[in-house]
Structure 1
Amino acid sequence: METPRSPALVILVGSAAAVVIMAGLKAASSIVGPVFLALVLVIAVNPLRAWLDRRGAPFWVCVSVPLATVIALLLALGAALAVSVAQLAALLPAYTDQFNELLASATRALARYGVDHHKLGQAVSRLDPGQLFTFVEGFLAGLLSASSALLLIVLMLFGMCIDATGTVRQLERLATSHPALVGALRGFARDTGRYLIVSTVFGAVVAVLDTVVLYLFAVPLPLLWGLLAFLTNYIPNIGFVVGLVPPAVLGLLTGGLGTMIWIIVAYSVINFVLQSLVQPKFFGTAVGLSFTLVSISLILWSWVLGPLGAILAVPLTTLARALLIDLDPRKRWLDGLLTSALDKPPKRQKHTPKEATEP
């Protein structure tokens, strides 16, 4: 008779395996990140490939057109990141005097309210204006280094685009014999594509509106901060804050406290209307992951893959859920714990009244 396994033992063994896997992924992050990015990009352009296939386009067209589209986007993004990093590095020294003057004014104001002038001076002396943009510069540089692995990404894209049609047909054949596997993989592709569409559309709208606001307030490099707003829209939960801090600080240095407050208000209103009111009304949370799970996945994948992991946190978590939960029908009950309450509840079926029976 088989002895039942202890649930605590299963959890401990599973946690140990997860730690080993994550450590391995972190060690191979320079390969894993670009490979998964290539997979996500192939999923993103799959509707284009499917449309060409339905129109009866030749096989080489179904491969070359999506591949050329993705490569063009990668080259454009890489060029924009390279220019942005160079502009940011050149911008910071120009505002050192304004930053020091602002700190001196704040120090005098706090001293008038009884704050110890000596201790305050020691704290202020450790501040560096470059530190305010260290995270942003490191984030952009990390994405630039990931996009510099263009050869690896192109090779993976080429192979995946060639295999895409055959993979779809093979999944259709396996749907009868392995419905759980096919359903999990299709769910991952569907949720990832939906997430990319939602994030790209709303990210582009937010970036355009933010850029217009920064132009109105004469903040330096508005296009750079618009690009940052677009990229950080893929970072769940904290992306808005990451995209807001640099232009708000520059608004403070160039236009004073009032300019900074107006920039914060404008960013907040744009984000609230689009992300909190419009998006959930039409798309829910796009992938159905709870706020807590998304926050944990953001921290985890950022640690494993760096800045690229922050952008790919949601697709990576969706793949993990597909392989670990959706693949096993016995674990489907966990969906209720992982799903966000913002998702639209399923429509209730209308029950027709039963016909009256004769006595």
Structure 2
Amino acid sequence: MDEAPKHTPAAMPPSAGAPLQQPGLAPSVTVLLGLAAAVVVLAGVSLAREVIGPLALAAVIVIICAPLRKPLTRLGWPSWVSTTLVVALSWAILLVLAGMLAFATAEFTQLVIAYSADLRATADALFEFFTSLGLSDQFTDAITSVLTPSTIVQYATSLGSSLLGVLTALFFIFAYAIFMAADAGRFSRATREFGPAAAPRVRRFADFNSNVRRYYVVNAGFGLLVAVVDGLALWALGIPAPLVWAILSFVTNFVPNIGFVLGLVPPAILALVVGGWPLMVAVIAVYAVANVLLQVLIQPKFVSDAVSLSLTLSFVSVLFWTFIIGPLGAILAIPLTLLVRALILERDPSMLWLRWLSGDNAATPSGDARAG
């Protein structure tokens, strides 16, 4: 008797209600795509640095001045009055900074002209000294060329050109400040307009604004202290134009970790020219005691606690943002890094460990639960 043919059961079609499973990208591919997208975005930011730099500076200044709006609103003042005062304060800060830089640049140029003969003599003396040590001509030329009047005049001229560019950009920064200050009033109404669903995003950017303000308050406080100490010490040592170097110390204090070196080099060179090695060593000693103690050992800890950013990331951010948007990136490095963290890491719960590595002490499961 013939056996009945065996029928292989046909594959059952997926039910209409079952969702189709789409294969996901491998983690390595996701990382590579993310890195490629970051490179493209950063290349675009670098190409548009002339626009993005002033825009970021205006945003930071408006964020710093924004708390002025709250007490006026509580007193029942019209919104346009509080906005006008925020804009006026923002403009005042910009004009004071620009005036300080203009004064320091003009005085620095006059010093170079006045001490050009001494600079030349010091350069020749250093050339002979390094040559007597048997150092190569290339090394000797590189060291002594720093003290030649033409090099320093060219440096001062480049500073003047940069300052002219900053002053030209002030027009756009003023305009940005007006628009941003006017739109900032909408931020406080976001939760009321969109309900509780918008609260996490509003809180994230409110925390970012608070971190930016704390960072600049800490830096301004330490910068003022360092400027007073440096200015008085240089005046006591007889260094010409101590007010210029005090202003330089204040401005370079906003460059994390390496700012004191930028503020030390010009007065140290001038001390070598007018007083020789002993006076130069005295200036370096003053900066080592005051600036290293305050700016390198104490201030970074206060900054780290104020913005919840690790010391390593603070240092690397200066180099990174200077490479991306130029010298202004050194001053805006911390706010820009905080902005990237707010936009990318703080919106994704899976990035909690990266936030913790960046120095965010609240980035723990229990900390996020309390924040929520």
The interval holding the TM-score normalised by the smaller chain is 0.7 to 0.9
Deviations 1:157-190 (CA, angstroms, capped at 9, x unpaired)? 1112122222122145557203442232122111
Aligned equivalents of 1:125, 1:198: Cα separation in 2: 38
1:85 matched to 2:105: yes
Distance in 1, Cα, partners of 2:198 & 2:275 = 62
Closer, same or farther in 2 for the Cα pair 1:121/1:55, shift >3 Å?
closer
Paired residue secondary structure (1:254) = helix
Alignment of 1:217 with 2:237, yes or no, is: yes
TM-score calculated relative to the size of structure 2: 0.82
- The answer as to 2:76 corresponding to 1:32 is no
Q: CA, structure 1 residues 304+111, in 2 after alignment: closer, same or farther (shift >3 Å)?
A: closer
Q: Which residue of 1 aligns with 2:273?
A: 253
Bigger mean CA offset, 174-183 vs 127-136: 127-136
Q: Percent identity?
A: 36
Structure 2 match to 1:8: 28
CA, structure 1 residues 298+118, in 2 after alignment: closer, same or farther (shift >3 Å)?
closer
Q: Does 2:72 match 1:52?
A: yes
RMSD: 3.0
Counterpart in the other structure of 1:355: none
User: Is the counterpart of residue 327 in structure 1 residue 347 in structure 2?
Assistant: yes
- How far 1:304 sits from its partner (Å)? 2.3
Alignment counterpart, residue 309 of structure 1, candidates 309, 329, 343: 329
Q: TM-score, normalised by structure 1?
A: 0.85
Look up the match of 1:184: 204
Q: Any conservation in 1 of the 2:109–2:156 contact (CA below 8 Å)? A: no
Among 303, 311, 323, the residue aligned to 1:291: 311
* 1:233 paired to 2:253: yes
Deviation at 1:109, TM superposition (A): 4.2
The aligned counterpart of 2:176 is 156
SS of residue matched to 1:212: helix
**Worse overlay, 136-145 or 267-276:** 136-145
Counterpart in 1 of 2:93? 73
Distance 1:95 1:48 in 2: 46
Please list every run of 5 or more consecutive structure 1 residues that lacks an aligned counterpart in the other structure. Answer: 350-359
Q: Is the 8 A contact 2:131 2:140 kept in 1?
A: no
Contact 2:356 2:363 in 1 (8 A): no
1:168 counterpart (188, 191, 206): 188
**Shift in Å, 1:284:** 4.2
User: Residue 175 of structure 1 contacts residue 182 of structure 1 at CA under 8 Å; is this kept in 2?
Assistant: no
Aligned CA distance change for structure 1 residues 268 and 139 (closer, same or farther; 3 Å): farther
Distance 1:321-1:105 versus aligned 2 partners, 3 A rule: same
Residue 10 of structure 2 corresponds to none
Task: Check conservation: 1:174, 1:182, Cα contact below 8 A.
Answer: no
Query: What is the one-letter code of the residue matched to 1:162?
Result: A
Q: 1:273 to 1:59 in 2, by over 3 A?
A: same
Secondary structure of the residue aligned to 1:228 is helix
Relative CO higher for 1 or 2, CA cutoff 8 Å, sep ≥ 6?
1
1:206 corresponds, among 216, 226, 230, to 226
Aligned to 1:97: 117
- For residues 73-152 of structure 1, the aligned pairs below 5 Å read 73-110=93-130, 115=134, 126-127=145-146, 128-131=148-151, 138=158, 141-142=161-162, 144-152=164-172
Relative to 1, partners in 2 of residues 1:303 and 1:278: Cα closer, same or farther, differing over 3 Å?
Answer: closer
Aligned residue identity for 1:101: A
Unaligned stretches of 5+ residues in structure 2: 1-20, 368-372
**One-letter code of the match for 1:201?**
G
SS of 1:339's partner is coil
Aligned-partner Cα distance in 2 for 1:198–1:60: 30
Report the Cα offset of residue 239 of structure 1: 0.8
Cα drift, residue 32 of structure 1: 1.0
- Mean Cα displacement is larger for which, 139-148 or 247-256? 139-148
- Alpha-carbon offset, residue 45 of structure 1: 0.6
Counterpart-to-counterpart distance in 1, 2:128 and 2:258: 33
Give CA deviations for 1:17-67 in whole Å, capped at 9, x if unaligned: 111111211222111111111111111011212222223222222111121
Deviation of 1:271 (Å): 2.1
Whether the 8 Å CA contact 2:257–2:295 is kept in 1: the answer is: no
Using the alignment, how far apart are the partners of 1:120 and 1:299 within structure 2? 26
Cα deviation per residue 1:244-277 (whole Å; 9 max; x = unaligned)?
1111111111122121112112122222443356
> Is the alpha carbon distance of 1:179 and 1:166 closer, same or farther for their aligned partners in structure 2, counting shifts above 3 Å?
closer
Is residue 2:358 matched to residue 1:338? Answer: yes
Residue 292 (structure 1) shift: 2.6
Distance 2:328 2:139 in 1: 38
Residue 221 of structure 1 deviates from its aligned partner by: 2.1
Aligned length: 345
Higher mean alpha-carbon deviation, 44-53 vs 291-300, is at 291-300
